[in-house]
Structure 1
Amino acid sequence: MPGPERPDPGARHPWFTATDAPRVLAHRGLVVPSDARDGVVENSFAAVAAAHAAGVTYVESDCHLTADGTVVLFHDESLVRVTGDPRAVAEVTTRELESLMESRGGLITLEQALDAFPSLRFNLDVKAADAATAVGRIVAKHGDRVLVTSFSDARRREALRTAEAGGGIRPATSPGTETVARVLSALAVRSERLVRRTLTGVDALQIPERRGALRVVTPRLVEAAHRHGIEVHVWTVNDPADMRRLVAMGVDGIVTDRADIALDTLS
């Protein structure tokens, strides 16, 4: 039985053309249990390298700015969960963060990630307002293999504006929380016009399956996105049965901590 119709790949942003859907997005790289026991952490150079070695094409990561203005791949505002240091990323220099990450898989900056792994596509979540412009400048010459997103539409748009000003290909993009909420509202009132208008300029919807009691990912949402040539990627999915169920629903991408398992499950 054929699955739900997917967007025409010939019309897609270059970020999407590296593989066919369903896409596996390595959430903060890949840290398998044996590496974790050796001290390797998420969003480290080793985690990105492990995802690449596993055969991943897409790596989802996060961007913060250090005290001396370097964009680094790091999820939390604070260093405490990952390194035990109570300071914020914005309060430490790049050299200090390199020292803290040395035994944890190594620090990786955004520029290093793009240069060291030229075959990878990066899905970048701009976590800090101060990082938006710097992210845009760095990805400007890599727009064909970058998707920019953020919970904040303002941060996302600032990064995109800066990247476009660099004269290269505009990065692909997934909207923030406010835009996703408007899409869900438009679907609730069955307004195709509002859905189309809200999704203008969007390449993918990257969303959780649920938000509390609210089911976000539904066949109706997937079908609406596909009608407008937009993919749906769901985070963060680590159970193979859930991966298969979501792909059967028509979801185009799975964001997962275990990209190795997802590649085996969905290949």
Structure 2
Amino acid sequence: MKLFFGVILSVFLVYFVLLLIPGYPPVDEIPFYQDSGVSVIAHRGGRALVPGNTIEAAKNAVDIGSDIIEIDVHLTADNTLVVRHDAMIDTTTNGSGLIANMTLSDIQTYDAGFNEIDYPGASWEIPLTVPSLKSLFTALPNQRYLIELKPKTLPPADALCQLILEHKLQNQVLVGSFHSSVLQYFRRSCPSIPTSLGKSEITLFVLLERIKLGHLFNSPGYSIQLPIKYGDFAILTPELVKLAQNLNMHVDVWTVNDPVELEMVSNIGVDGIITDRPDIAISLRDTSIGF
């Protein structure tokens, strides 16, 4: 029993000391974030309106007033970055194959915009192709992009760094990935381009916030992208948003399409809303509801 109480006392003492440790300073301001209000971030270019991850979707998102275009990238066999969510083309084209094993010309022989992954609940009559990231940058050179590196491997990170620098878009791109090891590599090899937090980094941040030790989080990224919930666990809370913003990190929530949820997350104080329906988000933002 004495041992038990001794352990409990030691834990409380360590926790008390951790509470007293000075926190890390906030991250620096970056040119990528220039909005005073809530940014509308078109998920895959607004895939509910036009088949996602296409140049046509991105152009439509810009035309209706989206602030940022969110896209995903993979690397082809001939070292070309293409804008696509899945590693296979089967799910969103009328073709079949693994992107990493196909050339760009192979991939672009097929029509894109099929199935619900990139165009939920509808069919698209006009032929579309899987675009290269280079062609998207060329088509919309003044746009801001939130780019997710999908592969776990490092060559796509090198290719993305090189392409962003070639197009001089380092102030218009923020790079993310679920794979923290990929992000860590990207930060080392491409320090002039800002990143968001990876999955393990987000997990640590959420844990520290829950136990009131968020000041001990030394952020390696400039933003955090979160869902409202993970299963039954509420992730997005006013306290977490406040902590992130105190560290000068922007908080973007995904993927929010329902008008009630759009208003709810804006009231929590998020900085950006990643949505398949940028038209609805923009309409709400520009009405008396506002956000």
**TM beyond 0.5:** yes
Identity, in percent, stands at: 29
Question: Distance in 2 between the 1:104 and 1:152 partners?
Answer: 33
Aligned to 2:283: 264
The answer as to 2:209 corresponding to 1:187 is yes
> What stretches of structure 2 of length at least 5 have no aligned partner?
1-27, 113-125, 287-291
User: Counterpart of 1:154 in structure 2: which amino acid?
Assistant: S
> What stretches of structure 1 of length at least 5 have no aligned partner?
1-10, 36-40, 165-169
Aligned to 1:157: 184
Work out which of the residue numbers 133, 139, 143 in structure 2 matches 1:116.
Answer: 139
Aligned to 2:37: 21
Mapping 1:1-267, distance limit 5 Å:
12-17=29-34, 19-32=35-48, 35=50, 41-101=51-111, 104-128=127-151, 129=153, 130-140=155-165, 141-164=168-191, 170-195=192-217, 197=218, 199=219, 201-267=220-286
Question: Distance in 2 between the 1:43 and 1:122 partners?
Answer: 12
Question: Distance in 2 between the 1:30 and 1:191 partners?
Answer: 37
- Matched residue pairs, number? 242
- State the 1:104 CA deviation: 4.2
Question: Distance in 2 between the 1:148 and 1:213 partners?
Answer: 28
Question: Distance in 2 between the 1:228 and 1:220 partners?
Answer: 13
1:186-229 Cα offsets, whole Å, 9 max, x none, are 1122113323x2x2x32111111111111110111001011111
- State the 1:56 CA deviation: 1.6
Bigger Rg over Cα: 2
Q: Is the 8 A contact 2:75 2:81 kept in 1?
A: yes
Q: Is the 8 A contact 2:94 2:111 kept in 1?
A: no
- Partner SS for 2:202: helix
Question: Distance in 2 between the 1:133 and 1:13 partners?
Answer: 22
- State the 1:163 CA deviation: 2.8
CA RMSD for the aligned pairs?
1.7
Higher helix share: 1
- Partner SS for 2:108: helix
- Partner SS for 1:156: helix
- Partner SS for 1:125: strand
1:108-150 Cα offsets, whole Å, 9 max, x none, are 2112222221221000000012311111111123110000000
